Structure 1
């Protein structure tokens, strides 16, 4: 999974170096504008499937991971307006966690280029007019803001692990099959999206009973069918692009 997509200058958060930093939540999602998909957590399949197709891709090691397809373009999407406001009904957690992320050794990191993280203006802070919330208290303790951020990115990583286990189980069961999406735009220009995979429903239905029971208890079975249900959202993306798919 491309963990650091969108992050220009990942920096480890430090209570001494960043004690006066204030954080303002993301309002402008324009930083996502150039991609046509983002990684998705399996637990998100249910909500995302109402609005976005859930497909699978492969990383450089050949491991499968789920993605939310944001558009049928080869590059870019229309889920944000000109001012950067998110227009879709669902915003993937991969986007919502920005500008924070956990490193492999579980340190909280942030994108130092994010405009909503800035050193506090002492004069403005004294007058109660400083924008954003501090991440650290005067004694170096975590503020409620930072605790919520840590909770979010920690839960994200835990669900990322569950998602990876689900994909490994589906791969071991040989359930993935290639899915090529071909689109003809309104001006008759062909577009082709490949490198995508879906779960083969026929093979899913032939799983042994004991495997089905395991998958049901782990939530895998529900995730698989939420993914298959989401394929109907391709038509919605096609309508947005004024295409015939």
Structure 2
């Protein structure tokens, strides 16, 4: 199984094997994300995320039947590989909004080998797991506690939004309004930072959409998605300023 970014392991949560497992919520250590310069976003997050990060699109995986690889939205967290400008030295988060991808850690949903059933998994290398301290995952009868049920509810909601995000990205891709973009910033000492390899809305192509397509976008809530993305791109220069401060 290929591990998702940030995760060091992925083990299925088992009520027998992990009956005594507890979670120390007081240990907030996000250092596993310290080298991530971008992070997946669901479209439902755009309204909050656009105030903090640039939101861009990239192609993920392999295309099929001669078609390009599917689109995926990302929050940009750094201007260079291995750079996350929103993780503090003590491993805490340094922004008003934290992506749901980050908030679900150390848990995740993963498909079994048959590709059909999904199970709750965890990064068992996370330091916050304990046998003696914190919130219990299971009660004395081996049933999921209220805490575990809240984790499951969050993960299920997250996966539902992943599917909705996939459909939104398909619609944007089919409309032909995205194109490769590049960002450049000058740093102290004459150093230049260049960020490329991402897609963004082309304003001219968007303005030329047929009325019927614009109406369709409106009814499906895609106009808001586009606007949040466009607003978010102003944060590229704020990222450069944040990098200077650090």
Question: Once superposed, which parts of structure 1, at least 4 consecutive aligned residues long, lie more than 3 Å away?
Answer: none
Structure 2 distance, partners of 1:94, 1:3, is 14
The equivalent residue for 2:66 is none
Give the superposition deviation at 1:3.
7.0
The number of residues matched between the two structures is 232
SS of equivalent to 1:81: coil
Contact 1:74/1:193 (<8 A) preserved: no
TM-score by length of 2: 0.89
Contact 2:185/2:237 (<8 A) preserved: no
Structure 1 distance, partners of 2:3, 2:199, is 20
Deviations, residues 82-133 of structure 1 (Å, cap 9, x unaligned):
111111111111111101101122100000101111223xxxxxxxxxx211
Give the superposition deviation at 1:78.
2.1
Question: Does 33-42 or 197-206 show the bigger shift?
Answer: 197-206
SS of equivalent to 2:45: helix
Contact 1:58/1:195 (<8 A) preserved: no
Q: Structure 1 residues 3 and 55 mapped into 2: Cα distance closer, same or farther (>3 Å)?
A: farther
SS of equivalent to 1:103: strand
Query: Is 1:137 aligned to 2:139, yes or no?
Result: yes
The equivalent residue for 1:127 is none
Q: Structure 1 residues 3 and 210 mapped into 2: Cα distance closer, same or farther (>3 Å)?
A: farther
Deviations, residues 58-101 of structure 1 (Å, cap 9, x unaligned):
11322111100112233212212211111111111111110110
TM-score by length of 1: 0.89
The equivalent residue for 1:92 is 99
Give the superposition deviation at 1:48.
0.7
The equivalent residue for 2:6 is 6
Contact 1:136/1:146 (<8 A) preserved: yes
Structure 1 distance, partners of 2:220, 2:140, is 44
Structure 2 distance, partners of 1:35, 1:148, is 27
The equivalent residue for 2:218 is 216
Contact 1:45/1:226 (<8 A) preserved: yes
Deviations, residues 174-203 of structure 1 (Å, cap 9, x unaligned):
111101122332122233221111012222
SS of equivalent to 2:11: strand
Query: Is 1:74 aligned to 2:81, yes or no?
Result: yes
Contact 2:57/2:199 (<8 A) preserved: yes
Unaligned segments of structure 1, at least 5 residues: 121-130
The equivalent residue for 1:165 is 167
The equivalent residue for 1:192 is 194
Contact 1:10/1:110 (<8 A) preserved: yes
Unaligned segments of structure 2, at least 5 residues: 63-68, 112-116
